[in-house]
Structure 1
Amino acid sequence: MSTGPHTPPAPTPAQFRAAQDSPEFRELRRTQRSFAFPMTVTFFVWYLLFVILGAFFPQVMAVRLGGNITLGLVLGLLQFVTTFAITFAYVRFSNRVLDPRAAALRERLEREAAGAAPETPEVAL
């Protein structure tokens, strides 16, 4: 597979492993996990609470809040709201914190690959 004039050379497997072992990559993974894991656990607990209330405490879910609107209906709709809120928060966090760090790491890896790649002469057709 040849690289075009605008395609940077691909890093070697050894360069990928070195990048994976770098402090920058470990910090990037730690930062991503410090956001993703607590959010996942929080949402899972919230979802489990909803299921437990529905399964074992239907009288709580049947509490009328007004007209035909019950607590169960509101809590069910809030599941969707929290899903979108978590998605929005993660995208914002990723754009602001993770993406710049990942881009810097990728650029460094591409520079190292370019430095290690053998030069191929341009052929005029």
Structure 2
Amino acid sequence: MSRHSMGLGGPPSPYEAGPEPADRSSVSRQPAYQSLRRSHRRFGVRATAVAVGGFLLYVLLSSFAPALMNTSVSGHLTIGLALGLGQFVLMSVIVWRYLVHMRTRVTPVVRGLRGLARHHETTGRERAAFEARTAPRDEEFRSW
């Protein structure tokens, strides 16, 4: 047993159960959470559409317009090779936009929701402690 579980103070052992998690349904009903989900979903749909669209365009042009893809741009560089290398650029831009989106739109809302969840946890713990202090204690005074 740890000092914490025996009531002697000190930090709790990492193997002991921590406080109850916040009520997820109360956080998920918050307008900020709903807005966060919509924003994240909207970005994901757009990014997926751009990535798949770029790949699909490349494959379709390669299949149905080989003469266009073999057109030389400069020296040995063809339009097909340039579009193939452009796929790396496209994915880099999508990843960069994802990071910017997370930093500017998602992270601030998540921090606020975490604070709200911690507030609910603290309030719940304080309420439970108050109820434990004020509850009748019949079981402590047993007859022999």
1:4–1:104 distance in 2 versus 1, CA, 3 Å: farther
Residue 51 (str. 1) matches residue 71 (str. 2): no
Report deviation, 1:11: 1.8
Partner of 2:50: 42
Partner of 2:109: 101
CA distance in 2, matches of 1:87, 1:74: 20
Q: TM-score, normalised by structure 1?
A: 0.80
Partner of 2:31: 23
1:60–1:93 distance in 2 versus 1, CA, 3 Å: same
Q: Which has the bigger relative contact order, CA under 8 A and spacing at least 6?
A: 1
RMSD over equivalenced CA pairs, Å: 2.2
Please tell me the residue identity of whatever aligns with 2:50: T
- Give 4+ residue runs of structure 1 displaced > 6 Å after superposition: none
Report deviation, 1:42: 2.0
Matched position secondary structure for 2:92? helix
CA distance in 2, matches of 1:92, 1:40: 16
Report deviation, 1:4: 4.1
CA distance in 2, matches of 1:70, 1:4: 65
Report deviation, 1:32: 1.4
Report deviation, 1:108: 0.7
Percent of paired sites with the same residue: 28
Please tell me the residue identity of whatever aligns with 1:84: S
Structure 2 unaligned spans of 5+: 6-10, 130-144
CA distance in 2, matches of 1:77, 1:96: 29
1:113–1:62 distance in 2 versus 1, CA, 3 Å: same
Structure 1 unaligned spans of 5+: 120-125
Name the larger-Rg structure: 2
Count of residue pairs brought into register by the alignment:
114
Contact conserved, 1:62 with 1:72, CA < 8 A, in 2?
yes
CA distance in 1, matches of 2:38, 2:110: 13
CA distance in 1, matches of 2:120, 2:38: 24
Report deviation, 1:10: 4.4
